[in-house]
Every structure is written in C-alpha cells, then in structure tokens.
Amino acid sequence: MAAALRASVTHVTARRVTSDRATVELADTQQSVELRLAVMGANEAGKSTLIGVLTQGELDNGRGSARLNMFRHVHEVRSGRTSSLSHEILGFDAQGNVVNYGCSQLMTAERIGERSSKLVSLLDLAGHSKYQRTTVRGLTGYCPHYAALIVSASAGITPVTEEHTALLLALELPFFIVVNKCDQRDPGRLLPALRAGLKHAHKVA
Ligand SMILES: Nc1nc2c(ncn2[C@@H]2O[C@H](COP(=O)(O)OP(=O)(O)OP(=O)(O)O)[C@@H](O)[C@H]2O)c(=O)[nH]1
Ligand SMILES: [Mg+2]
C-alpha cells in the first residue's frame, strides 16, 4: 500500500505476537499539506489558462482550450471570461513530482488527493471589473495562504492589475507576480514598471 502511494513507512514499535504474526505501530508521515493559492490579475492575463495548463499538463492552443475545465457556466465558455469562483488542485508526491498527469487513469480530485503528500488548491478569480465582487468574495471567503498576481507581458500593468494589488495589500495577503504571455512580448520590459508600481502601491497602503 505504501508503494502504491509512493509513501515511506516508519516503524515506531514492532512486537512479535506469534511466530508468524507481529503488531507494528507506524508513524503517519504522509498527511497531505494543503496550500490555497488565489490566482488574480487583469482580464485576459491568462489566469484560467495557466491553471488549466498546470493541472492538466497540456499546453493551450492560444484560443483558450486549456481553460475550458475552469468554466462553470455556458456564458463563460462563450465569452471566455471567468465570472464565477472555481478551483483546481495540483498534487505533489513525497518526491515533489506532480501526480495530476502522466498516468493512464482518469485523475479525479479524490484520486489526486489520495496520491499526494502536498496539495496546492488554485482558486481562479475573475479579472473583469464587472465581476469584482465575486473576486473579493473569493479572496475573503476562501482564506488563501498566498496569491499569484498574473500580469500579461503584452498588456502590461492595467487599472485592474493596480486594483488587485491594492486589494492584496489591504488584505495583507503575501503574493508573487507571474509575467505571462512572454511569447508575445519581452517580459523584461515590464520589470521596471512593476517595481515602481509596487513601491508606489506599498507607500499608499
Ligand atoms: N499567446 C498566449 N496566449 C495566452 C497565454 N496564456 C493565455 N493565453 C490566451 O489568452 C486568452 C485569455 O486567457 P484566459 O486564461 O481566459 O484569461 P483570464 O485571465 O482567465 O481572463 P478572465 O477570466 O477574463 O479574467 C485565451 O485566449 C488564451 O488562449 C500565453 O501565455 N500566450
Ligand atoms: Mg479566467
């Protein structure tokens, strides 16, 4: 069973009862640690696509194929815009390998949970300002440990990026920035603006 779970077994005590039987006390070192990560940033920055690619292990086709699993409503599929809260899990085994893919079986959330020693739950938030309330509800209700602020290299820092940065600072939620769509534009060009934006936002907050 331990081999199937890629877990290590540690004997705490062992006592032979009869010549062919023994009782063994085992330490449970495989309790999965869950980390909740809110994925934020402007609309079209590629949040849902990034979550889809990370959890399914297949690249996007540039027209939104990877994000389909993230949508819950038909209008989201039609518009390509996230309007509701959804999440996907990314599981890691004890060696740090992703368990979501590379297996012939269909990986349900339950199966990912069973095979993982660490789970990262990725919460897909809405970037469009029309759905800002939903994003705030997700951030406050879901109690994420960290946030990833996605910035598109082609669109750069937008008013929504600034709004989301302000929200993260107000909630004192630790976050990191991911520059996406690097195939469209050199991400290096964004770094001075990001540094300046963060310094300014920090002073205001
Ligand atoms: N070229 C390129 N296109 C990308 C990349 N990531 C995402 N896209 C495309 O960008 C579009 C928008 O991606 P989404 O994942 O829907 O963006 P989002 O941030 O979730 O948008 P909202 O849900 O409206 O907040 C889709 O057509 C994706 O195929 C990337 O790294 N490079
Ligand atoms: Mg989305």
CB 134 within 8 A of CB 107: no
Which of 38-47, 99-108, 162-171 is least confident?
99-108
What CA–CA distance (Å, rounded) separates 205 from 197? 12
pLDDT of residue 17: 83
Q: Which atom of ligand 1 is nearest to the CA of 53?
A: 6
Q: How far is the CA of 99 from the centre of ligand 1 (A)?
A: 24
Going from N- to C-terminal start, the domains of the chain cover 33-204
Q: What is the pLDDT of residue 67?
A: 94
pLDDT, tens digit, 9 for 90 and up, residues 32-91: 679 999 999 999 999 999 999 999 999 999 889 999 989 999 999 999 999 999 999 999
Tens of pLDDT along 120-164? 999 999 999 999 999 999 999 999 999 999 999 999 999 999 999
Pocket test for ligand 1, best of 67, 78, 190 (most atoms within 8 A of CB): 67
Is the distance from the beta carbon of residue 83 to the nearest atom of ligand 1 less than 6 Å?
A: no
Predicted TM-score of the model (pTM): 0.85
Q: Which residue has the higher pLDDT, 1 or 19?
A: 19
Angle (deg, nearest 10), helices 159-170 and 191-204: 50
What CATH number labels 33-204? 3.40.50.300
| Predicted confidence (pLDDT) at residue 25 exceeds the cutoff of 80 | no
Q: What is the model's pLDDT at position 19? A: 84
Q: Which of 40, 43, 47, 60 to mutate to test the pocket of ligand 1 (most atoms within 8 A of CB)?
A: 60
Identify the residue with better confidence: 200 or 183: 183
Task: Give the count of alpha carbons within 13 A of 112, CB side only.
Answer: 23
> What are the angstrom distances between the C-alpha of 103 and each of 3, 32, 71?
16, 20, 24
Within 10 angstroms of residue 33's Cβ, the number of other Cβ atoms is 10
Confidence of residue 29 (pLDDT cuts 50, 70, 90): low
Sign, CA dihedral 151-161-165-133, equals negative
State if residue 127 touches ligand 1 by the CB under 6 angstroms criterion.
yes
Does the CB atom of residue 57 touch ligand 1 within 6 A?
Answer: no
**pLDDT the model gives residue 30:** 54
Interval 186-203 mean pLDDT: 84
What pLDDT is recorded for position 48? 97
Residues contacting residue 15 through CB under 8 Å, at least 6 positions apart: 22, 23, 24
pLDDT at 5 over 70: no
Centre of ligand 2 from the C-alpha of residue 46, in Å: 7
